[in-house]
Structure 1
Amino acid sequence: MALAIACFGQNATAQTTQHYKQTNLVSNQASLAPTMDGALVNSWGLARSSTSPWWVADNGTGLSTLYNGTGVKQGLVVTIPTGDNTQSPTGTPMGVVFNGDSTAFLLAPGKAAAFLFVTEDGMISGWNPGVNLSQAVIEVNHKSASVYKGVTIATAQTESGPQAYLYAADFRQGRVEVFDSTFKAGATAE
């Protein structure tokens, strides 16, 4: 009997410590968080480097807004472009990923994308402050074929050494598209 009570007591304690507490830091509605930001509409993707603020893909405004760990908005706001400016001046970002490889996903010679974005309007764009401080640059335009919902980067060991690949979840096609480090579509990780 004592053993059963001791086990029950430990189990109850273990269960209570396996919970998370959500704390809203920023919202586009003042009543939901201490910080209000009207640009943070239908936010989806969230990424950061080990030294950067958090980058958020704001689907409803076509922006990426940045926040520190306590929810304070940072000065930089990046516009995510669309492939068709007649429909909207901004894209509809759904995913963002940090690129820590300075040789992969170049936007200009010697200027790798620090952050990459995918959009519901079929764009994959990258941002590097030395290319355009306030706007991401389109590298893949699949506006009539793809609806991207998420993105990640993985590195695979190949015969020629490590190779970075971009994986973009295409909702319209029901598949994950793979791009090599030069944005070549149809790549396969070896």
Structure 2
Amino acid sequence: MARTASSVDEPVRERLLSVATRLFAERGFEGTSVQEIVAAAGVTKGAMYHYFDSKDDLLHEIYGRVLRMQMERLTRFAEGDEPIETRLYAAAMDVVATTVENLDDSKIFFRSNHQLSPETRKVVRAERRRYHERFRDLVIEGQREGTFRSDIPAEMVVDFFFGSVHHLGTWYSPEGTLSGAAVGRYFADLLLASLRPEAG
């Protein structure tokens, strides 16, 4: 796992992450060596291993920093005082917008995560599962209070929604006409519409 860096260490650490992200995008995870990463970052292997245990650790952190940010934001939405529809809408819109804002990181990870070590994959799955479960709890809350339809399992709602979110990297282009926020609104509208109880 990545070691915690102090603020004075951040420039080198962030440079390594930036360079690794670019090289993984250009050459693929398997096609990029540690030596190429440190050479492009202008540091020694020893400096890299001060911050990251391995190339696996770098790939994990590229995605992990996005997921941690999204988890912090989801927690704020979930713990708010607004009605459940408002909180779920905000959470759904936010995860789409922040995924688009960090699309390169997400694309690199999902394209390469099968090459991670089994132990690292296990850690990442657990981290992502915690996010999905926190999101699912919002759906369950709305179902229990009668705001959302309860004939569809909340787990299936979440799997369907995040299947679409994880697919963003295959079609979204920042040069297109839709911003990440606009796509987020569409996704959130579709999610909430699908959860409204049927009349009668």
TM-score by length of 1: 0.27
Higher helix fraction: Structure 1 or Structure 2? 2
TM-score by length of 2: 0.26
Structure of greater Rg = 1
